[in-house]
């Protein structure tokens, strides 16, 4: 497990930062997690303060980026340089 921070020493990371870490071999796995129309990308094996690194956007760099489709999340992972990802889709609960 790699301990490396994202932006502002948090656990959110921009695509450009993730791309460099993929090139250097620090990041080599990712998961796409979420429910229909709300998917996030989490990088396996990379944590900061016990939290996994999560892809963020440049518009909201301190919050996880929400993708409206699996295709969008997968396309971003391909741009970053990852060619494999696991996908975990959950159902919304009544409380959400």
Closest CA to 17 of 52, 44, 55: 55
Predicted pLDDT at 47:
59
Enter the pTM of the model.
Answer: 0.81
Tens digit of each residue's pLDDT (9 = 90 or more) over 56-75 = 999 999 899 999 999 999 99
Q: Is the pLDDT of residue 82 over 90?
A: yes
Tens digit of each residue's pLDDT (9 = 90 or more) over 11-37 = 899 999 999 989 998 888 999 999 989
């Amino acid at each position: 497990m790699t301990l490396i921070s994202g932006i502002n020493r948090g656990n959110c990371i921009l695509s450009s930062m993730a791309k460099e870490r993929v090139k250097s071999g620090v990041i080599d796995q990712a998961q796409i997690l979420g429910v229909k129309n709300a998917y996030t990308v989490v990088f396996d094996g990379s944590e900061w303060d016990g939290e996994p690194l999560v892809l963020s956007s440049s518009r909201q760099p301190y919050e996880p980026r929400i993708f409206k489709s699996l295709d969008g999340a997968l396309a971003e992972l391909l741009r970053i340089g990852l060619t494999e990802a696991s996908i975990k889709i959950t159902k919304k609960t009544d409380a959400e």
